Amino acid sequence: MVNLPLFPFPSARILGIETSCDETAASVVENGRVILSNLVASQAELHAQFGGVFPEVASRQHIRTIYPILEQTLQQAHLGLGDVDAIAVTRGPGLPGSLVVGLNFAKGLALGSGLPMVGVNHLEAHIYSAWLYEAYDTAIPEPDFPLLALVVSGGHTELVLIKSHLQYQRLGATLDDAAGEAFDKVARLLGLSYPGGPSIQQAAEEGDPHAFDFPRAWLENTWNFSFSGLKTAVMREVRRIEAHSAVLPVANLAASFQAAVVDVLVGKTIRAAKAFGAKDILVAGGVSANRALRKAIHAQALCPVHIPPIFLCTDNAAMVAAAGYYRFVRGQRDPLDMDVLPNWPLTEV
């Protein structure tokens, strides 16, 4: 990447494309912040029958959906491809077959239009969702550096210190299940529908978070997380109750599980922010849509907390365009033989 100065930020309109998992999405974003259009076609209903994402079904659905989504996105922004400056596309991490659809589509567009292409890390994209706002809204405050970010999604749970734009120090991550994955697995145990996060949240609203004392894996002296012990504890409780052929207290189990996840996520994030002298905290990724998590971190943090609005927490292409903007203005241009990176970590600088 050419290291052009980041200040002052030049103007640029970026078309974002996202197909890393089970959302097909395209968006146009101006100057890394202003959403001109943002379309997401979720496949959740299609995968609900399997209780999770079925990779081959996901890839084939992306193929069907990506072109209409692009057309509608450009239409909604009242723009043509000639009005954008670059195409940003998720290169990884994610499901290989799903990533390939978006990346090849972006390549076709780049080749046909002559626009430059920028490959974006999906985790970095989640982080940049906190900079976005809609064109008809007033600008929201930008997160301040150094920034402590908690990225919590279906595939990742990471604590990252962000020193300035695109400069990451990965402090810790989950040693086993991602937080979202734990929500999805526990939802299945409780007979709740996929995706598990929203189902557990809804069930938990009727339940008592103190009904069951589930374990919290603090993993002292590290910034790592672990959720598999918690998941096993819920499973044991479910088996114990079922052995007595009693009705599962789903709401209480969901509320107690959610409380355990939220305690650890919030506790460690706030401690890390303090330990590394972060000015602000940022929470992003699908699990950041969780109401209990949002409430707890806002209540407990001693510094400003940035959490994107719910529609930007789960996968979308506006966040890809936002991250792509900062890479584009830094001079990143990727070649047409670029491959997907299904296990791409957030690159440390």
| Chain residues that interact with ligand KG4, rule: CB under 6 A | 21, 153-155, 180, 183-184, 195-198, 201, 285-287, 289-290, 314-315
- The reply to whether 153 sits near Zn ion by the rule CB under 5 A is yes
201: partner contacted, choices ligand KG4, Zn ion, none (Cβ within 5-8 A by kind): ligand KG4
Please report the DSSP string for 13-38 in residue order.
EEEEEE-SSSEEEEEEEETTTEEEEE
Tell me whether the omega of the peptide bond preceding residue 195 falls within 30 degrees of 0, making it cis.
Answer: yes
Q: Which is nearer to ligand KG4, 110 or 287 (CB)?
A: 287
Write down the least CB distance from residue 335 to ligand KG4, Å. 26
24: partner contacted, choices Zn ion, ligand KG4, none (Cβ within 5-8 A by kind): none
Q: Which is nearer to Zn ion, 143 or 195 (CB)?
A: 195
Q: Which is nearer to ligand KG4, 102 or 180 (CB)?
A: 180
In the three-class reduction of DSSP (H, G, I as helix; E, B as strand; rest coil), residue 38 is classed as: strand
The rounded Cα 288 to chain-centroid distance in angstroms is 8
Q: Which is nearer to ligand KG4, 102 or 195 (CB)?
A: 195
In the three-class reduction of DSSP (H, G, I as helix; E, B as strand; rest coil), residue 172 is classed as: strand
Q: What is the CA radius of gyration of the chain?
A: 20
Write down the least CB distance from residue 77 to Zn ion, Å. 23
Among 70, 315, 320, 329, which residue sits at the site for Zn ion (rule: CB under 5 A)? 315
Q: Which is nearer to ligand KG4, 36 or 293 (CB)?
A: 293
> How big is the chain, counted in residues?
349
Write down the least CB distance from residue 64 to Zn ion, Å. 21
Write down the least CB distance from residue 168 to ligand KG4, Å. 17
Please report the DSSP string for 253-304 in residue order.
HHHHHHHHHHHHHHHHHHHHHHHTT-SEEEEESGGGG-HHHHHHHHHH-SS-
Distances from the Cα of 13 to the Cα of 104, 294, 345, angstroms: 21, 31, 26
In the three-class reduction of DSSP (H, G, I as helix; E, B as strand; rest coil), residue 194 is classed as: coil
Q: What sign does the CA torsion over 235, 199, 37, 100 have?
A: positive
Contact (Cβ atoms closer than 8 angstroms) between residue 77 and residue 30: no
Write down the least CB distance from residue 338 to ligand KG4, Å. 20
| Beta bridge partner(s), residue 182 | none
Q: Which is nearer to ligand KG4, 254 or 281 (CB)?
A: 254
Give me the residue label for tokens 């494309």.
17
Distance CA 56, CA 186 (A): 24
φ and ψ of 87, to 5 deg: -115, 120
Stretch in the footprint of Zn ion (CB under 5 A) among 32-40, 151-159, 258-266, 303-311:
151-159
209: partner contacted, choices Zn ion, ligand KG4, none (Cβ within 5-8 A by kind): none
Write down the least CB distance from residue 20 to Zn ion, Å. 7
Stretch in the footprint of Zn ion (CB under 5 A) among 63-71, 110-118, 150-158, 178-186:
150-158
40: partner contacted, choices ligand KG4, Zn ion, none (Cβ within 5-8 A by kind): none
Q: Which is nearer to ligand KG4, 13 or 226 (CB)?
A: 226
Write down the least CB distance from residue 157 to ligand KG4, Å. 10
| Beta bridge partner(s), residue 62 | none
Write down the least CB distance from residue 21 to ligand KG4, Å. 5
65: partner contacted, choices ligand KG4, Zn ion, none (Cβ within 5-8 A by kind): none
Close Cβ partners of 271 (under 8 Å, ≥ 6 residues apart): none
17: partner contacted, choices ligand KG4, Zn ion, none (Cβ within 5-8 A by kind): none
Residues found near Zn ion in the complex (CB under 5 A): 153, 315
